[in-house]
A and B are shown apart, each in its own frame.
Chain A
Amino acid sequence: MENRQRIYLVLMVLVGLIFWVRLFFLQGLDDRFKLAADTYSIRRLVNQPLRGNIFDRNGKVLATNDFAFDLMVIPSETQVMDTVALATLTEVPLEEMRKAWAKVIKNIEKKRRYKRQPQPLIRDLSQKSIAAFQEKMFRFPGLYVEKRSVRRYPEPFAAHALGYAREADASVLESDSYYQPGDYVGVAGIERAYESQLRGIKGVRKVYVDVRNNEKGSYMDGVYDTLPVPGSDLTTTLDIELQKYGEQLMQGKRGAIVAIEPATGEILVLVSSPSYDPNWMVGRNLRQHYGSLILNPGKPMLNRAVMDGYPPGSTFKVMNAMLGLQGGVINPSTVVPCGGGFRLSAAHTVGCHGHPNADLRFSITTSCNAYYCHVFNELTKTGANPRQAYSAWYEGAKRFGFGTKLGTDIPEAKTGLLPSPEYYDRVHGKGKWRGLTIISLGIGQGELKANALQIANLAATIANRGYFISPHLGKALNGKPLPDTTFKKNYTRIDTSHFQIAWEGMYGAVHKPGGTAKVARLDSISVYGKTGTAQNPHGKDHSVFMAFAPSNKPRIAIGVLVENGGFGATYAAPIASLIMEKYLTDTITRPALQERMLQTRLE
């Protein structure tokens, strides 16, 4: 019996040993727990910086920050709740409130969130309903209000230029580790282009939290904590008054206006119509307006000013004139007999309206089709073969910005379409096309696609006599101008002297008999303009107009495109002229014209 004592001693030592070995592995060898314990009890809290403000060129606030209030819920702390009372109190439709609760519960069931973890119930409540809720908050344990900053746009204009910021979605979160769920990120327009400057730097606070997520003091006395750095304030090139006027003039019409300061490439106006109030893209407004924005046949979300666009029409002829002069196929006194059009073959003629035979200057003024078919046709004969000659023209046109994004800072900018030689190889077959095959390029029709920005840029290039600065919206950060190198000076490699004839032709179009754009004429100021009509196989042609003014150091170059507006002179030219007059003289001398443009509805 004595040896039974040993059973007890052995059993005790054995258990002690097993426990100790287990602890040796648990505490000594296994590192998992050390890391897990830290992530468990230390929370990295992010202090969101305020997003930078956005100003127009005159210092008017275009975008700033407001506070929004989210109704948050900690599901583990809630009790049976009067949903109806809560909905009434917060002025949220009962249906929405029920759905929000269902979502909270689903998040827990699907283990997306823990029961102890706060999650938003209703976002972006108004200050009024928040005040009402907070009075009765004691009746709703587990609910609380969280303040958050959201974007506000004081002027309900320039939606396409400003763009918008919204909560980072899955694709953003995946591609950029900077963003955490719930962060805001600029996804269009200036908000996107200058995202990294506007967003600022997040502040980080490391704190201990207990099992209920209550803060229990800072980690290491806060030596790792950083304060948030607010985003930089961005001054844009926009003139919001002019922008507003442009949007009013485009009321009821589809199309775009772009105005550029030629010497700097600064975009003064960027209108895309129909437009919307940029505030619609914020918070609850979005839910309210999103449907109508998406369903509207006018596609208000589309930035027409920089989209792929339409054929530039006759505005393109000015560029062809310059390329022709530079290529040596014409000189200012070259006269091409019009005779009602350019004869392609016995059966085909590119038609032209009746006008006297034109020299180069007058061909611009009167927009002679035959002249530019001739120029283009001659240009395609200059090389070893038509393809090589076309390649040279293609490169020349590209230097004018067509088929490119112009180096602009507008994220939505498209290239338009300037058909490459390869394109025609594909369409017609290699060696099976020549100048006459693609003669419509001479007069800005055919496969060509250009947008208002490119057309305005063409006007600016002519105004500059041979170069353009990449048109842009950003001007200064925190009051400090963006470095000169930000936007490139692009040369067309056309002799400066050649542009004299373009100026004279465009002056004639506005001010001389036989001119196509006499409606754009201003009494006190010389206006240089060129009309265009973009052929539209789906309906009425689009009205196009480009112009710049005044003669001494042009201050504004403009491109206007009115969809289904017919001839360039019908709508595009008057609108451009009104904007230029407003910008240059700050008065309107033709109230009747203004009234007519404001009232016209083409939609």
Chain B
Amino acid sequence: MSFNDRRDGFIGQVDWILVGLYLALTLIGWMHVWSAVPGQERLSPFDLSSEAGKQFAWLIICLLVGAAVLLTDTKLLFAFRWPLYGFGLALLLVVLVIGQEVGGNKSWIVLNSFIKIQPSEFAKYFTALALAGYLATPLHLAPPAGRWPGFFWIFMAPITLVMVFADVLLGQGLQMKRVVYWLKAFALIGIPAVLVLAEKDTGSTLVYAAFVLALFRFGLYLIMLYLGLGLAFLFLTSLVVQPWILILGLVLVSIAVWLFLLGRSRKAILPLGFFLVLLSLFTLGGRWVFDTVLLPHQRTRIMVLFDPDLDPKGSGWNVNNSKMAIGSGSWLGKGFLNGTLTQLKFVPKQHTDFIFSAIGEQWGLAGTTVVILLFLTLMMRLILRAEMQRSPFAKAFGYIVACVLFFHFFMNVGTTIGLAPAVGVPLPFVSYGGSSLLGFTLLLFTFIKLDAHNLEVLR
């Protein structure tokens, strides 16, 4: 590779495909925020007293911020990642104290009637910086485990147990250094997640799972991914299938795994048994958690997935009407500004969490296909570019951005078409909302900036 300190100007080699995708999605978003208003009430899309106008203003601000990011020396961001992470946590603490409730979440700092910000959207960015910085030092270069206070272990006990047993199961032998390395990563993600949960913002909390998703690329036990997906599957099926049938199935699967995948290894019996017991307990506990821990409205949001007619005027209302709006769009849609259900406010939160249904109603399958393709292209481009990064920091950051976008895309679009529980996360770049748009802009443009200087990085 090049040993020259190559410089492609001050800005570097910008990946204009990513910028183009960004512009396409934000313009689609702005257009449909404007469309989700009854005809008579629709002002000019530039009128600052309307939501579309505000979104336009935010878009201008975001473009300026994006340009600013492209002009910043990314070394600064890397250098200041810890202070910025601390600032993010401080913001989350502040919102807990002086935050105001908007729509049930105490996650807003209201500056004036015009501007209110949602610090959790920025905390995502700072967490991403810190986590990427942490992952930039790979496991084999990380310092030895050292001593950690007892409460840390207790707090992390479940994850630790899983990792210890995974080590044993994979027959690699217990590596305390590795366990501690990942525990620190989890702690990094967990602290802001807990603070956001304290704001009663379920959706934003779940988004932190996206950070964990990124860890697998950097060597986190894959078994945790499968376990996670398995648990999610078990949790949902335990709501509709008798638990003992599920446990019977688990036992059979475990035996099959032991027989055919683990080569009847004696050493694997104990950890396998551990996972079997864990999953069985989870299956039994899943129902219990569902019935006792979850709040009634959260429960119905999940049950509505199985039975859309369960509560058509209550919890099912949003999703039902969203599905109806999307479904009524048919192949080519009713035409722009002709979305009757959209304009008549039949879908609540139409311009924020349910913006996808406005697109589906007005543009039909053609429109939704385009949006899905845009997102797939964006996310896959991010993964491809991230993989090419020479700097481990940039690579980790790229994966984190892709995972965060992927998780939002999955939860948001999944909700509008009734495939995911309605937890209330925005569709990146498209949904109305300045804070989230700014947060995602920072994430994306920071990666674009890092990527632009990829070739300058010495190998």
The residues of A with any CB-CB pair to B shorter than 8 Å are 1, 4-5, 7-9, 11-13, 15-16, 18-20, 22-24, 26-28, 30, 32-34, 36-38, 40-42, 114-115, 208-212, 216-217
Contacts and interface: CB of A to CB of B under 8 A. Distances in A.
Interface string B215-226: 011010010010
A351 to B, nearest CB: 79
Nearest to A210: B344
Contacts of A18: 419
A1 B365 CA distance: 38
B326 interface: yes
Can you list the 3 inter-chain pairs with the closest CB atoms, starting with the nearest?
Answer: A33-B327, A37-B328, A210-B344
26 contacts: A1-B219, A4-B216, A7-B222, A7-B225, A8-B217, A8-B406, A12-B376, A12-B379, A16-B376, A19-B413, A19-B414, A19-B419, A23-B368, A26-B326, A26-B417, A27-B360, A27-B364, A27-B368, A28-B331, A33-B324, A33-B327, A37-B328, A41-B344, A114-B313, A211-B345, A217-B39
Nearest to B342: A41
Interface string B363-395: 011001100110110011001000100000000
A411 to B, nearest CB: 43
Contacts of B219: 1
Contacts of A32: 327
Contacts of A12: 376, 379-380, 383, 406
Given A11-B406, A12-B380, A27-B326, A19 B417 contact: yes
B190 interface: no
A216 B216 CA distance: 52
B324 A36 contact: yes
Contacts, number: 118
Contacts of B373: 16
Contact of B40 (A5, A24, A114, A217): A217
Given A9-B383, A18-B419, A40-B341, A27 B38 contact: no
Interface size class of B (residues with CB under 8 A): 35 or more
Residue from A13, A15, A24, A37 with most neighbouring chain B CB atoms (10 Å): A37
A285 B257 CA distance: 82
Interface in B349-365: 360, 364-365
B178 to A, nearest CB: 14
B414 to A, nearest CB: 7
Contacts of B345: 210-212
A417 to B, nearest CB: 58
B346 A41 contact: yes
B410 interface: yes
A15 B313 CA distance: 29
Given A1-B219, A5-B387, A26-B323, 8 more contacts: A5-B383, A16-B373, A23-B326, A37-B324, A40-B324, A40-B346, A209-B344, A217-B40
Contacts of B225: 7
Nearest to B320: A36
B330 interface: yes
Interface string B406-428: 10011001100101000000000
Interface of A is mostly: helix
Given A12-B376, A208-B344, A210-B346, A7 B216 contact: yes
A37 B328 CA distance: 6
Contact of B399 (A8, A20, A41, A115): A8
Nearest to A26: B327
B343 to A, nearest CB: 8
A211 B331 CA distance: 25
Contacts of A11: 406
Contact of B329 (A22, A27, A114): A27
A26 B222 CA distance: 34
A88 B399 CA distance: 70
B383 A33 contact: no
A18 B346 CA distance: 26
A44 B276 CA distance: 60
A26 B217 CA distance: 35
A37 B327 CA distance: 9
B180 interface: no
A24 B376 contact: no
A210 B331 contact: no
Contacts of A22: 417, 419
Contacts of A5: 217, 383, 387
Given A16-B372, A16-B375, A28-B365, A9 B340 contact: no
A23 B322 CA distance: 12
B330 A28 contact: yes
Given A5-B383, A12-B376, A27 B327 contact: yes
B387 to A, nearest CB: 5
B402 interface: yes
A287 B413 CA distance: 56
Contacts of A33: 323-324, 326-328
A212 B344 CA distance: 9
B163 interface: no
Contacts of A8: 217, 383, 399, 402-403, 406
A25 B330 CA distance: 10
Contacts of B321: 40
Contacts of A16: 372-373, 375-376
A15 B375 CA distance: 11
A212 B219 CA distance: 53
B437 interface: no
Nearest to B364: A27
A26 B413 CA distance: 13
A55 B1 CA distance: 106
A23 B360 contact: yes
A210 B321 CA distance: 12
Nearest to A16: B376
